[in-house]
Amino acid sequence: MPLIGPLPIMSVPSSSSSSSSASHPRKSRYDIVLSFAAGTHKNFTDDLYSALERERIHTFRDDEGGEDSASELLGTSIKGSWGSIIIISEEYVFSGRCLDELVEIMNHREKWGRVYPIFYYNVDPSDLTHQRNNIEEAFEQHEMRYNRAKTQTWRLALKQVAEIRSRWAFRDYADE
């Protein structure tokens, strides 16, 4: 049984409505971009996506994204959307592609002053702040593969996300 019902968490201007935000240019046909790793795709993310679409919130999710780089369509969708919903899981933190997305989302957030909901899926939000446990392990791997400037940017983005107060934590969603 899905945990996600009607979404009281945000009011999103619909793509199909005739009014548009004067403070944010619309370049995309999507209202929301879902940022997630493959490990949440067939359970939590699918249910969230379905709930958003039922509410007529046009939602982009990159089901085909490879590990090494975010797709151009995803980058355009982030820049042109009303906002993003970030689903942080252990797989998310181990993925360079997801962390690149996160940096793009956080830059968009800073530029447009948006507050984005964050869902923690089997991850303790304080681990992001203190960069310990699996987060520390992920960065040990990233630092062997990527340059220091990139990994420092990712670390900062994760710390910024951990400070966002519109957040929810879920454990073992697949067993619910």
Active site (catalytic) residues: 101
Burial of 13 (0-12, 13-18, 19+ CB in 10 A): middle
| Phi-psi domain of 132 (left: phi exceeds 0; alpha: psi -120 through 50; beta: other) | beta
How many angstroms separate the CA atoms of 158 and 43, rounded?
A: 23
Measured at the alpha carbon of residue 54, what is the angle toward residues 176 and 107, in degrees to the nearest 5?
Answer: 85
The strand pair at 118-121 and 83-89 is best described as parallel
